[in-house]
Amino acid sequence: MPPTTSTIPVLPLLRSFAKRPSRYRPSTAFRPSRPLTTTPTTHHPHPGSRSLPSEADNNNDSSIKWFEQDLHSPQSPRRPLSAPPDTAEAAKLAAEIRALGAETGDTLSSASRLADEALLGPLKGEERERVARALKERRERARELRVGRVRGVGRREGGAVRKFEEAVRDAAFALPEAGTLSGAVGAGEEAEATVPMPVRKQLWRCYARAKRRYPEAFLEALPEKLWSLLWTTQTAAGPENPLALAHAKVLVDDMQSVGRELTTAQWLLALEGEFITGDEGAQEGALRKWEEQYAAQRSRRDGNTDEAAGSDSGTTGESGESSGRAEFLQLGLRMHALLGDVGRAEEIMDELWKMQPDRDPRGRMPVLRAWLRVGGEEGRRKAWELYGLMRTELEERGEMGENEFDTFFVAFGEAGAKEEAMEILEDMEDEWKGKWEIV
């Protein structure tokens, strides 16, 4: 008998399932849709847009700074960054500050005159005349040390120039009058002893600042006496002024840039500064300049003035004189000896002592050290011969003392010439036997 089957109405069953919430369907499947709530749409500029703010977007409200503008909001116009509202006010304040500075300078000048009058008030007779004469000389010196008219710069605008003039007066009144105004360059030792180091540093700082502010106009306005004062105070050699050679080179470059003539001493000191403070290339360049000047001087002595006039030496004609010539040769001797050209250094040494036989024998020391650096049997023999010559010359001058023996002993000892160093020690013992005891 075949199995019996029951018939189930499928369609009503599906409809009943559709009316129930199903876990497999979202509960909103058959609910009526309703619009979503959204925030108001804000129109932002396109990220790829390269358009710049226009003048129509400019906001002229001075209370709103350019960095406070909302560039993404259409309610606040934009303003270009190139028009900050404080420019006019800043310019006005700067003008007022300059005017106050000039007024302060005038007030200080008036105060200085009142102080002079107060100083002279209680004095009488010769004492009053003497003090009045000293004050007058002081004012005249101050006028002589003023910078000339700086091209393109008003007197009230040249704050850096006024600062420099103040530093000049401080340095000038620390020097004797002859050393300040004579224009001589040999007063370096005097400046070292009289001008305090802070005053010299302040003078150099003010000079460098004014030169940066008015590069060409300031240098052209400096009178000869100010150049002399700068040279005297800034190139004074000593332990407190280690930058003397570097300052000399800067001053020479500045003087040449405005067409100032150099003395032999100035040119030589600048050349030595270039050699000492420079690298190997600068040293070779300085030595080349020296050789060019040497050839020019020899041509001048031989009567070939045309060739001498065509050489660019940077010095005046006085370099052919005896004193300038001797210092010139001494510098060449040192430079050649330091670079190891002992043969050329000896040639210059022989020429120098032929011209000045009574010259200080200590000037031969660079050649002696150069032979010791050469080393070997020949170098030690040449150095020992030079030691004997220098000792004889120093004894004739009565200047062969303990310091001189120490100098020779250290030179040979550092070079590893122990036998020669011990012989120098024995010579020193024989020379000073009975005058001092060896501890």
pLDDT digits (tens, 9 = 90+) for 134-154: 767 766 666 666 666 666 565
Whether residue 424 lies inside any domain: the answer is no
Which letter, b or e, does each residue of 42-62 get, where b requires 16 or more Cβ atoms within 10 Å of its Cβ? Answer: eeeeeeeeeeeeeeeeebeee
Quote the distance between the C-alpha of residue 43 and its chain's center.
59
Whether residue 122 lies inside any domain: the answer is no
More confident residue, 420 or 118: 420
Whether residue 432 lies inside any domain: the answer is no
Q: Round to whole Å and give the CA distance between 290 and 271.
A: 8
Whether residue 13 lies inside any domain: the answer is no
At residue 424, the pLDDT reads 92
- Domain range for residue 251? 97-115+132-258
Enumerate residues 6+ apart whose C-beta is below 8 A from 352: 326, 329, 330, 333, 359, 363
Phi, psi of 185 (to 5 degrees): -105, 5
What is the band of 118 on the pLDDT scale with cuts at 50, 70, 90? low
Q: Round to whole Å and give the CA distance between 192 and 209.
A: 23
Tally of structural domains, the chain: 1
Whether residue 167 lies inside any domain: the answer is yes
What is the band of 279 on the pLDDT scale with cuts at 50, 70, 90? confident
Whether residue 36 lies inside any domain: the answer is no
Whether residue 126 lies inside any domain: the answer is no
At residue 145, the pLDDT reads 66
Whether residue 310 lies inside any domain: the answer is no
Mean pLDDT, residues 27-37 = 52
